[in-house]
Amino acid sequence: MGAGAHPLYRHDESAVHRTPAEVKIVCLLVFVLAVVATPREMFWPFAIYAAIIVATWRLARIPLRWVLPRMLIEAPFLVLAVLLPFAEGGQRIEVAGLQLSVTGLWAAWGIVIKGTLGVAAALTLAATTSATELPAALSRLAVPAVVTSVLVLMIRYIDLLAAEVSRMRMARIARGDSPRALHQARAIATGIGALFLRSYERGERVYAAMLSRGFDGKAPDLAVIGAPPRAAASQWVVAMLPAAVAVAVSVAAWVTL
């Protein structure tokens, strides 16, 4: 595992992995906007979007059994969608003995399909882009240095923080605390306070160390050091294809509506 591997990253050397991150970010953004802008009272545009994503997965060698369980992250958001056909008013149809609202059904369909496509597309970016590529990509997309610095610090210290949490947990269990999460609620609550203090103190030490190396409030653009080269024009053209197709589909959907 190299630097910047995160739980949603799937290491490989595919063409999608090699595509510069800044292109993938823009492609994802445009793709998701196109999906969201599509009128929900139709099916064929969404079938094409899904096909684009599945094709990208094939290209990135991401197996379905790897990506599908990770898509469960959207499950909580679907609860609302399930309620809509019952809650909405207007014309009703009977399905399996249930009186369902037609507008509610369309609304639920819209949420489910757009949400699922969005999560699937975002997971594709996450699975093929390591965390260390992100700051350089964002700084090339003209995101301010303050924002990329915050991101850089977060990537660096999140593991350290997680390790600290697990050490504190081990120390509690070693002193006879119940290993069950619910029983630990009280200890966890006090532990968070201690963790905050430790992180705060670390922040001060990190800042002192930064000052010592000449930091004066202006973050130098470190993201570009050791970063892969900028995307070439040809890479932009190729990698933006899925987004371009999605935009075309979205426009076509509105025209044929």
Partner 1 sequence: MYPDGHVALDGIDLEIAAGERVAVLGPNGAGKTTLMLHLNGVLTATTGSIQISGIPLDRKSLHDIRRRVGLVFQDPDDQLFVPTVAQDVAFGPANFGLRGEELAARVANALAVVSLTGDAERSPTHLSAGQRRRAALATVLACQPDILVLDEPSANLDPVARRELAETLAGLDATMLIVTHDLPYAAQLCDRAVIMDGGVIVADGAITDILSDSELLAAHRLELPWGFSVQGR
Give the footprint of partner 1 on this chain (CB under 8 A).
1-4, 131-132, 135, 152-153, 155-157, 159-160, 202, 205-206, 208-216, 220-223, 225-226
- Between 58 and 156, CB nearer to partner 1: 156
Distance CA 120, CA 244 (A): 18
- Between 4 and 191, CB nearer to partner 1: 4
Instruction: Report phi then psi at 4, rounded to 5.
Output: 80, 10
Residue 140 makes CB contacts below 8 A (sequence gap 6+) with 22, 224, 230
In the complex, least distance from residue 65 CB atom to partner 1, rounded to whole angstroms: 28
In the complex, least distance from residue 163 CB atom to partner 1, rounded to whole angstroms: 8
- Between 16 and 131, CB nearer to partner 1: 131
In the complex, least distance from residue 152 CB atom to partner 1, rounded to whole angstroms: 5
SS3 99: strand
Distance CA 222, CA 227 (A): 9
In the complex, least distance from residue 221 CB atom to partner 1, rounded to whole angstroms: 8
Distance CA 173, CA 169 (A): 6
Taking each helix axis as running N to C, give the angle between helix 21-37 and helix 44-59, from 0 to 180 degrees, rounded to the nearest 10. Answer: 160
- Between 65 and 205, CB nearer to partner 1: 205
Strand partners, 99: 94
- Between 87 and 211, CB nearer to partner 1: 211
Consecutive H or E run containing 71: none
Nearest CA among 29, 105, 23 for reference residue 37: 29
In the complex, least distance from residue 250 CB atom to partner 1, rounded to whole angstroms: 36
Rg (C-alpha) for the chain, rounded Å, is 23
Taking each helix axis as running N to C, give the angle between helix 21-37 and helix 133-140, from 0 to 180 degrees, rounded to the nearest 10. Answer: 70
In the complex, least distance from residue 225 CB atom to partner 1, rounded to whole angstroms: 5
- Between 50 and 155, CB nearer to partner 1: 155
